[in-house]
């Protein structure tokens, strides 16, 4: 209920005209009601206050879903009424708003297609249609940036499983083995350990492929010597983990060792910069500064990190010049990397919780040099 209250407060301050909100992004539906089905919409109505009251009252939200989810909706849905729609769920959701006298409904501009919006407009009587739907920037996604204690517990568990899987993968990495075999072993172990799935396509990038910032596992056989970048995450209890480690097969050159140390130093510097009140751009700059000193900054071609939670990429963005400040309860990744086309790439990524006093690393797997 706290989440719904926070959502209505956020909606009111950003879009005071809206007297209802339609939530259709499945992750937001789950966040607000607990329902995990694939076809659902939530109507949240705000009753306009009388003159004396400052805040709108929130009427009980209603979740619309279809007949496949009768049992599941009853079991999972908290803080919302459930309507099993006979036809399209959005048609029933629209009809309920019209009959409740809604005039301006906020809809998620990022997750509503043009076709969906066209269809919904037709379900609103023509006299009320003009200005009925107001596309707004995702309000729920903004709330999800700050995790509560339960969410932090789940992210901690997902991150811990990720670290265990990494340790296990080390026994699998050897010259001649295909990258997909490492990914398959890791993903099988993740499911056996209880993960619902992976939070994104597992990256196993070996040898020259390590220079691809995003190199999903391929049929490529691992070389006798060279870097192997492992970047992967599990989805556990509805929450994503995300971590990267780079290990080396065979003996490394001094240049390779030095480059690894520089990336690690950059990663530690960025983590050291994490604390409440700090603009995200400063955290990014802390990593970039170290790599500039090592004359490697030109090869650091992406941002330093991102928020992570129910989705693998959430706010805030940890990137150059980002003014948004860190707040306690945010969980972000810190993942500087360098990519030297031809020779090799290196990336090191942790999940970090912003605490009142600074930062806590949720992915304790070692970052020391590993030579296999």
C-beta closer to Zn ion: residue 66 or 151? 151
Identify which of residues 92 and 231 has a Cβ nearer to Zn ion in the complex: 231
Written as six digits, the tokens of 332 are 């972000």
Residue of 19, 28, 108, 242 that binds Zn ion (CB under 5 A):
242
Sign of the alpha-carbon dihedral angle for 109, 112, 118, 123: negative
Cα–Cα distance between 89 and 74 in angstroms, integer? 17
- Work out which of 231, 256, 282, 285 binds Zn ion, going by CB under 5 A: 231
CB of 335 to Zn ion, least distance (A): 5
8 Å CB contact between 140 and 55: no
45 and 140 Cβ atoms separated by less than 8 Å: no
Residues 334 and 349 sit within 8 Å (Cβ to Cβ): yes
Q: DSSP character for 237?
A: T
The answer to whether the beta carbons of residues 115 and 298 sit under 8 Å apart is no
Count the residues of the shown chain that bind Zn ion, applying the rule CB under 5 A: 5
Closest distance of CB 311 from Zn ion, Å = 11
Residue 340 near residue 352, CB atoms below 8 Å: no
Least distance in angstroms from the C-beta of 347 to Zn ion:
8
Site string for Zn ion, 339-358 (x = CB under 5 A): ----------x---------
Radius of gyration of the chain (CA): 24
Shortest reach from residue 354's CB to Zn ion, in Å: 16
Q: How far is the CB of 308 from Zn ion (least distance, A)?
A: 7
Q: Which is nearer to Zn ion, 24 or 363 (CB)?
A: 363
Q: Which of 333, 344, 350, 352 binds Zn ion (CB under 5 A)?
A: 333
Judged by CB under 5 A, the stretch of 46-54, 56-64, 279-287, 326-334 that binds Zn ion is 326-334
For the record, the structure tokens of 208 come out as 């020259």
Select the span of 133-141, 220-228, 229-237, 358-366 touching Zn ion (CB under 5 A).
229-237
Q: Which residue number, 27 or 240, has a Cβ lying nearer to Zn ion?
A: 240
Interacting span for Zn ion (CB under 5 A) from 4-12, 98-106, 225-233, 258-266: 225-233
- In whole angstroms, how close is the CB of 200 to Zn ion at the nearest point? 7
Angle of CA points 203, 275, 158, to nearest 5°: 35
Residue 21: closest CA among 88, 86, 112: 112
92 is a site residue for Zn ion (CB under 5 A): no
Cα-to-chain-centroid distance, residue 297:
26
Tell me how far, at minimum, the Cβ of 314 lies from Zn ion, in Å: 11
**Would you tell me the crossing angle of helices 2-14 and 26-33 to the nearest 10 degrees?**
130
What is the contact surface with Zn ion in residues (CB under 5 A)? Answer: 231, 242, 244, 333, 349
């Amino acid at each position: 209920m706290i989440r719904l209250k926070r959502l209505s407060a956020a909606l009111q301050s950003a879009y005071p005209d809206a007297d209802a909100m339609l939530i259709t992004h499945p992750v937001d539906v789950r966040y607000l009601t607990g329902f995990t089905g694939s076809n659902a919409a939530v109507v949240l109505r705000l009753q306009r206050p009388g003159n004396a009251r400052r805040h709108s009252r929130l009427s009980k939200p209603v979740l619309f879903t279809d007949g496949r989810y009768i049992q599941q909706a009853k079991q999972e849905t908290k803080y919302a009424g459930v309507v099993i729609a006979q036809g399209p769920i959005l048609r029933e959701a629209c009809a309920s708003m019209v009959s409740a006298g809604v005039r301006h409904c906020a809809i998620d501009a990022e997750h509503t297609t043009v076709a969906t919006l066209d269809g919904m407009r037709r379900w609103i009587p023509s006299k009320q249609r003009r200005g009925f739907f107001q596309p707004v920037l995702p309000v729920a996604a903004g709330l999800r940036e700050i995790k509560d204690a339960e969410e932090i517990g789940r992210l901690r568990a997902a991150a811990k499983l990720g670290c265990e899987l990494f340790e296990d993968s080390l026994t699998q990495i050897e010259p001649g083995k295909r990258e997909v075999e490492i990914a398959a072993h890791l993903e099988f172990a993740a499911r056996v350990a209880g993960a619902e799935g992976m939070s994104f396509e597992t990256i196993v990038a070996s040898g020259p492929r390590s220079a691809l910032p995003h190199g999903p596992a391929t049929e490529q056989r691992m070389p006798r010597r060279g870097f192997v970048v492992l970047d992967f995450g599990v989805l556990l209890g509805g929450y994503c983990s995300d971590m990267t480690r780079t290990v080396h097969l065979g003996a490394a050159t001094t240049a390779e060792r030095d480059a690894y140390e520089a990336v690690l130093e950059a990663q530690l510097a960025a983590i050291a910069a994490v604390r409440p009140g700090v603009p995200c751009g400063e955290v990014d700059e802390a990593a970039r500064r170290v790599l500039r000193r090592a004359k490697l900054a030109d090869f650091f071609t992406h941002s330093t990190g991102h928020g992570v939670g129910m989705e693998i990429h959430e706010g805030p963005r940890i990137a150059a010049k980002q003014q948004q400040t860190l707040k306690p309860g945010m969980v972000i990744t810190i993942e500087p990397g360098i990519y030297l086309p031809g020779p090799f790439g290196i990336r090191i990524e942790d999940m970090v919780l912003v605490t009142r006093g600074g930062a806590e690393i949720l992915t304790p797997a070692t970052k020391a040099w590993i030579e296999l």
